[in-house]
Structure 1
């Protein structure tokens, strides 16, 4: 109820700003305004508004508040746009909604597709369809592949957001070095995974002489698609014959819940899985406390890089896996909802915001979003790049670890294990279907899934109750 009230306040706040005549709708392309690095397709002189941006981002920007200020200055150096970046350290969506409800006006927001859908439903985002079609940069299939736009279009074909980066997918990530140490084969079936996880729990893979490891850790139900694939079940929603359903609430999911409950009862599954956030899960993996986690493909490389920076001689090796095969031998991974740039309807500088979005997909924008700040994160001479110590620690990720633009080549090879993990995603993963009411459904799914996994309720009963609740609240058809 509190979240619904906050969402209503957000909608009223933004719409009220429009009624007060605080902004232009942002139609048409923005211009260079003399910026040497702005996209060439900007109509000269079209942008008469002040070249200032008030932005709120989740991952784009500096790694610390101090570096975030330097990031703002780098944007101004490269584009001539004075940017103010509000980048919360945690609880991004809640703080975003609270900031807007408090009356703060933003020109540009970085949000998930899920959040974008909610804001579209509230009527508080500027449609960008015409601007995207009229932009030589964003309509170029070598910059943003044509088929990828299908992820973002509404049912009536409108575009409200533009990709911030290439979004990969999730999968089981395993300690390959532990697998080799214990002379085990990579798992393929649920039974295989059970045997490997049991060995990781009981056979002292970290070699400290203590029974202090777990076979599996997760952050709730995030990214467990690779296990439910055993029953051919897709995460979140599916749509068939115009009807919406949640596969994790069907009888076919019962054996997977029972399998997870077995892991929990035998001490193989991290007992904190239900309350873990992703940071705690990652830290357990890096600290040799767990052998398998479920997370993003990009983190295969980031995890390897983190340990390599600590110890150049480390034997640590993270590796992405394709998950469990279904009875027909097929794999099914999850490709995550993309992060997007959106422009609120009450933005005071909508043309400058769209100019920035276009610039973000050019060489200098991608360099800033990946390598970071020149002379702080990297140095460049005669086209050759070198990371500073800070740059190495930041792992070439200031919001854009990977991108679409084929004309922009990476300055450095991808981190260890990333390419192989991305290949698995492109081969086996599909995008989730996330309706605006997903948050309400997720609460019910989590409640009864956790009861089944923790053994507080038989899996069959938990699935039955889950389905009854989803139907009662009209969250499935």
Structure 2
């Protein structure tokens, strides 16, 4: 990955804050420092609540349809009270319905009564309102009150929400680096005298043996070598063996190109098409939705697949419950002909917290989010200590009944996640170390291939991306199942470029020229 220049360093934020302080006429973050006795140490971002001015703010979050215990609601529960008490803020939450949430945000923005902060997961929505000058920069408020935010959110994430030198959103981070890694039934390997595969050819041989050599010993021809899912899902590690991931932008000769159009993708499709031709993949893979995909694993029809990191608590666990002999282990990612490994890496950002230009309290919003992202995050993530969880022998032990009762707290925690927080690891271990959730995530992180375009969606993406994705899925599926020859990949590339791909590539590289 290219080394990115540091467009938004702490020093630069400090300079911008100094430049804007003299001319601002907006929110409390721009107030005359002499007006408050706490101003002398405002830069720490961690002042005791009593030192900070009492303010009232209204905040829009996405509740995801979570229920509150009887007698409670979004503004009457111990977790929102916890934030209020630790920030000296009077916070009112507004939770639009989970269904149609983004539409509700547009209604809010069109109203004459805007809140102080809004959470969205839609990068296009964020970009659109920046262009409409409907959101205000947060550089100064971050420097004064957001030191935990600046520390806990990586620079590439700040880069994504920075336009013309101004930070227009405080991002919430993805908790995991990616999703897929390979798992295999070791008891099947042992029964057939096979070693865990490493190279693509070794993987192919395991698939052949699992399909043809009766790995479960029941005398029936009832097992598959490998399984995939509809819309080309669950194949990322095999594409990663060629050093790329579908749909991602990657650097070639100083320019960003879409990996789906590269010769390496043609090689990956040829390999997977060969597996299908030889009958090594579940022939119904194009129709596999998540439920029947998981059922085939749980019922013992397949012993090798690209697992989500949490599948050890899902279909793999059910497989073990159905068959006590089932022993599943993670594998090394398949190594391709050039010695490469990889899987889909997620972008850093899961959501955006923005402040409408009408708000007079950007400083208060940053104070709230800084506490939620820093000192308060452990409680918002895990729940209250000695009520939802406790420490035994140095490990967090969760009371799952209380965890479920307090699940509404995650509306707050997910809205402003830090990156790589130790609390996240503790939480996953508390769900059962036997599921190896942190180990799975670490394996993914070691080879995750991330998109090298870090900007917001371009106009061309908004206009063409949906059609291009559909085009890609149709061509790639037909190539894999043999409906079209591998040479059809070249036709796909030509169509992709003509139908908007060239336009998007030009836009992406205009961004890249300014940010690499």
TM-score (norm 1): 0.71
Relative distance call for 1:241 and 1:127 in structure 2 (3 A) is farther
Partner Cα distance (1:171, 1:381) in 2: 32
Which segments of 5 or more consecutive residues in structure 1 lack a partner in the other structure?
Answer: 1-23, 33-37
Compared CA separation, residues 352 and 252, structure 1 to 2 (3 A)? same
Larger mean CA deviation between 40-49 and 191-200 belongs to: 40-49
Is contact 1:337–1:431 with CA below 8 Å preserved after alignment?
yes
Which residue is equivalent to 1:198?
208
Structure-2 change in CA distance of 1:68 and 1:289 (3 Å): farther
Compared CA separation, residues 113 and 251, structure 1 to 2 (3 A) = same
Cα offsets for 1:428-453 (capped at 9, x unmatched): 22421456115453233222212212
1:227 aligned to 226, 234, 238, which one? 238
1:331 aligns with 2:358: no
TM-superposed CA distance for 1:214, in Å, is 5.5
Is the 1:257–1:453 Cα contact (8 Å) retained in structure 2? yes
The answer to whether the aligner puts 1:48 opposite 2:75 as a matched pair is no
Counterpart check, 1:78 vs 2:82: yes
**Separation (CA, whole Å) in 2 of partners of 1:114 and 1:318:** 41
Q: CA deviation at 1:244?
A: 3.5
The CA distance in 1 between the partners of 2:28 and 2:301, in whole Å, is 53
Aligned partners of 1:171, 1:313: CA distance in 2, in Å? 24
Report matched runs for 1:2-21 at 5 Å: none
SS of 1:215's partner is coil
Give the alignment partner of residue 281 of structure 2, picking from 242, 260, 269: 269
Pairing 1:139–2:150 present: yes
In 2 relative to 1, CA 382–451 (structure 1 residues): closer, same or farther, beyond 3 Å?
Answer: closer
Q: Secondary structure at the match of 1:139?
A: helix
Distance 1:449 1:368, change over 3 A: same
Residues 225 and 137 (structure 1 numbering): CA distance in 2 closer, same or farther, change over 3 Å? same
Residue 237, structure 1, aligned to residue 237, structure 2:
no
Q: Which structure shows the higher helix fraction?
A: 2
Q: Deviations over 1:123-180 (max 9, x none)?
A: 665544443343121123xx44x55546645475554332345332233331344444
- Given the alignment of the two structures, is residue 175 of structure 1 paired with residue 184 of structure 2, yes or no? yes
**Are residues 28 and 448 of structure 1, via their aligned partners in 2, closer, same or farther at CA, if it must alter by over 3 Å?**
farther
Aligned-pair CA distance for 1:421: 2.7
Aligned-pair CA distance for 1:336? 0.5
**How many residues get paired?**
433
Kindly indicate whether residue 268 of structure 2 is the aligned counterpart of residue 256 of structure 1.
Answer: yes
Quote the RMSD (CA, aligned, Å): 4.7
Q: Distance in 2 between matches of 1:345 and 1:359?
A: 21
Instruction: Map 1:69-468 to 2 at 5 A.
Output: 72=74, 73-80=77-84, 81-86=91-96, 88=98, 95-103=100-108, 107-111=117-121, 126-134=136-144, 135-140=146-151, 143-144=152-153, 146-147=154-155, 149=157, 152-154=160-162, 156=164, 158-159=166-167, 160-177=169-186, 178-203=188-213, 205=215, 209=220, 211=222, 213=224, 215-218=226-229, 220-222=231-233, 224-235=235-246, 236-240=248-252, 243-271=255-283, 273-274=285-286, 276=288, 278=290, 281-282=293-294, 284-294=296-306, 296-297=308-309, 299=310, 302-303=313-314, 307=318, 311=321, 318-338=328-348, 339-343=350-354, 345=356, 353-369=365-381, 371-372=382-383, 377-378=388-389, 386-390=397-401, 398=410, 404-405=420-421, 410=426, 413=429, 415=433, 416-433=435-452, 436=457, 437=461, 438-468=465-495
